[in-house]
């Protein structure tokens, strides 16, 4: 009998989580290479038998929008934008992580590191060390780093069979247990540019407004259900007298 | 409500963004100023349902799980080292670098500092100094009675002196380059210091491989593009507003929830 209320509540709590996701998208509107997210819902059927079914709503997963964000010119030697699908491999104390945030720098040991200080790896899984005194490194579209006449390393550009499975671990890094595959040849590395976030604020705003209205109307549904119940109990009470 | 505080992190990030933009606009006319950009990264994620875990139905694996982020943080503010325009001034000691490199400046402490602001002057002793009076390194002294001073693209300084037929060589201006210019530490007054992130300075003559050329009688303007900055400012302001809308909306949702009977 109280299923209506519970169904309404399942929708309310799912919407609350959706709001959290929208808020995170909005907050990261200017984060380098941030990928927008959307909550997916599914119908969750529950009932004692096939005849009596209630349809609850459940937030089922987060769908990530992997489109490339707009590329912004910076002119810096160690800024790289990945044009197309692909990730840089990063070595962290927690294990390998992957990122598209190509704002790199050189640390005290002349290693190429992310803005978080984690070394970026080359195709052989080693740190990339920029040799001294040969001049400014030039990086070609396939990730080969040349300093002066010398080829130093090749930045490891990787790709995944299932990008949706990647798990975000803050600071623009992704974690996964999947095996990496080399990025397709259409993926290029552009030196002197960074990738901006792919958030479309108007879309997020519209989603947020819609969500709020739905939240309020679901609330209305619970309210009227509550009134209906109250009335039913009152009438039944009177009838039994 | 998580989205309340997420919205707040967004507002704080945009405030910093506006601060950086306003500093760029304030330095629009600063010689050789390089505009800055605030860089943001996403904060931690909470796993509501781990990606790869099994869903309620047997043998189905959730492809992406539910991970909810808790906002944004500032990763850093960094400098964009694009070349500024060269502005003709006609002054003898104004030097602009077209291409890579920094002038070396000796600070009163003896330390070497680096700058691209080439609006030099000569002091009472005839030494070429910055507007703050710091000497260029290697030091160059212009003798009294010099009729004109010529600095060529490769940094050779020559003076024409009354009564002499040949120009007198006064010295050579050298430039320093860095592997990672973005890693230099700005100390104000258009000066930069070497850091571990920038790498050590490589010194060489202008116009050599990897070094820019000198232009006498020009100064490099800031690389701030006013239109771009205003656009960024509008974007940042709107982003600030949108994040505040998130807070308002979350608040209303919370209010709705408390009205539940």
Q: Let me know whether B121 and B197 are in one domain.
A: yes
Q: Let me know whether B215 and B237 are in one domain.
A: no
pLDDT attached to residue B158: 92
Q: Let me know whether B197 and B244 are in one domain.
A: no
Using CB atoms within 10 A of its CB, is residue A104 exposed (0-12), middle (13-18) or buried (19+)? buried
Q: What is the pLDDT of residues B165-211, one digit of tens each?
A: 888 899 999 999 988 888 889 898 899 999 888 888 889 999 988 89
| Residue whose pair of structure tokens reads 């080693």 in the numeric block | A126
**pTM of this structure:** 0.79
Q: Let me know whether B39 and B104 are in one domain.
A: no
Name B10's Cβ contacts closer than 8 Å, sequence gap at least 6: A23, A26, A27, A28, A29, B71, B72, B239, B240, B242, B243, B246
Q: What is the pLDDT of residues A184-240, one digit of tens each?
A: 889 999 998 999 999 988 889 999 999 999 999 998 888 898 899 899 999 998 887
Chain A hits for B39, Cβ within 8 Å? 32, 103, 115
pLDDT attached to residue A48: 57
Q: Let me know whether B229 and B214 are in one domain.
A: no
pLDDT attached to residue A72: 87
Q: Let me know whether B12 and B72 are in one domain.
A: yes
Q: Let me know whether B216 and B244 are in one domain.
A: no
Q: Which domain holds residue B150?
A: 88-220
Q: What is the pLDDT of residues B117-131, one digit of tens each?
A: 999 999 999 899 999
Q: How many domains does chain B have?
A: 2
Distance of residue B56 Cα from the nearest chain A Cα, in angstroms: 9
pLDDT attached to residue A2: 64
The domain limits of chain A are 3-66+199-234, 71-195
Q: Let me know whether B241 and B193 are in one domain.
A: no
Q: Let me know whether B105 and B210 are in one domain.
A: yes
> Which residue of B47, B62, B68 is in closest CB contact with A20?
B68
Q: Let me know whether B26 and B92 are in one domain.
A: no
Residue B42 has pLDDT above 60, yes or no: yes
CA distance A107 to B197: 5
Residue A87 has pLDDT above 90, yes or no: yes
Average pLDDT over residues A29-35: 90
The answer for B 192-231 residues in CB contact with A (under 8 A) is 196-200, 202, 209-210
**What percent of chain B stands above pLDDT 90?**
54
Tell me what ipTM this predicted complex has.
0.73
- DSSP 3-state assignment of A60? strand
Residue B159 has pLDDT above 70, yes or no: yes
B181 in contact with A at a CB cutoff of 8 Å? yes
Using CB atoms within 10 A of its CB, is residue A161 exposed (0-12), middle (13-18) or buried (19+)? exposed
pLDDT attached to residue A120: 93
Q: Let me know whether B133 and B243 are in one domain.
A: no
CA distance B210 to A138: 11
Q: What tokens appear for A94 in the block?
A: 């927690």
* Mean of all residue pLDDT scores within chain A: 86
């Amino acid at each position: 009998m109280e299923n209506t209320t519970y169904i309404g509540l399942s929708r309310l709590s799912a919407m609350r989580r959706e709001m959290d996701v929208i808020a995170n998208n909005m907050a990261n509107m200017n984060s380098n290479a941030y990928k927008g997210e959307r909550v997916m819902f599914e119908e969750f059927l529950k009932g004692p038998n096939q005849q009596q079914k209630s349809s609850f709503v459940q937030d089922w997963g987060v769908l990530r929008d992997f489109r490339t964000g707009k590329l912004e010119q910076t002119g810096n030697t160690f800024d790289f934008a990945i044009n197309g699908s692909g990730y840089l491999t990063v070595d962290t104390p927690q294990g390998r992580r992957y990122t598209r945030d190509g704002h790199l720098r050189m640390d005290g040991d002349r290693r190429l590191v992310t803005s978080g200080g984690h070394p970026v790896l080359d195709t052989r899984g080693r740190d990339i060390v920029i040799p001294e005194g040969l001049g400014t490194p030039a990086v070609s579209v396939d990730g080969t780093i040349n300093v002066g006449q010398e080829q130093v390393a090749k930045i490891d550009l990787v790709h995944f069979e299932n990008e949706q499975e990647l798990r975000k671990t803050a600071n623009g890094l992704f974690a996964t247990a999947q095996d990496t595959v080399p990025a397709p040849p259409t993926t290029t590395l552009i030196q002197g540019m960074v990738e901006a976030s792919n958030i479309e604020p108007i879309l997020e705003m519209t989603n947020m407004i819609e969500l709020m209205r739905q939240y309020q109307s679901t609330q209305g549904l619970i309210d009227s259900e509550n009134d209906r119940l109250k009335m039913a109990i009152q009438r039944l009470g009177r009838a039994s007298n | 409500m998580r989205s309340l505080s997420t919205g707040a992190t967004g507002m704080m990030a945009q405030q910093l963004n506006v601060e950086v933009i306003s500093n760029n606009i304030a330095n629009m006319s600063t010689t050789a100023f390089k505009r800055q950009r605030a860089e943001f990264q996403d904060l931690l994620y909470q796993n509501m349902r781990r990606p790869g875990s099994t869903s309620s139905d047997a043998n189905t694996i959730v492809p992406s799980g539910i991970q909810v982020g808790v906002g944004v943080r500032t990763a850093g503010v960094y400098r964009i080292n694009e070349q500024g325009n060269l502005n003709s001034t006609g002054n003898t000691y104004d030097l602009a670098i077209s291409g890579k490199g920094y002038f070396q400046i000796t600070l009163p402490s003896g330390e070497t500092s680096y700058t691209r602001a080439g609006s030099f002057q000569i002091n009472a002793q005839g030494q070429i100094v910055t507007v703050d009076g710091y000497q260029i390194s290697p030091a160059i002294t212009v003798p009294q009675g010099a009729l004109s001073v010529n600095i060529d693209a490769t940094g050779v300084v020559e003076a024409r002196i009354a009564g002499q037929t040949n120009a007198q060589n006064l010295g050579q201006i050298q430039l320093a380059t860095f592997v990672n210019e973005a890693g230099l530490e700005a100390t104000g007054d258009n000066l930069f210091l070497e850091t571990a992130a920038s790498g050590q300075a490589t010194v060489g003559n202008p116009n050599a491989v990897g070094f820019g050329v000198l232009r006498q009688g020009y100064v490099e303007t800031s690389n701030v593009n006013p239109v771009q900055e205003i656009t960024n400012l509008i974007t940042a302001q709107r982003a600030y507003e949108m994040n505040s809308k998130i807070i308002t909306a979350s608040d209303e949702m919370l209010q709705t929830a408390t009205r539940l009977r």
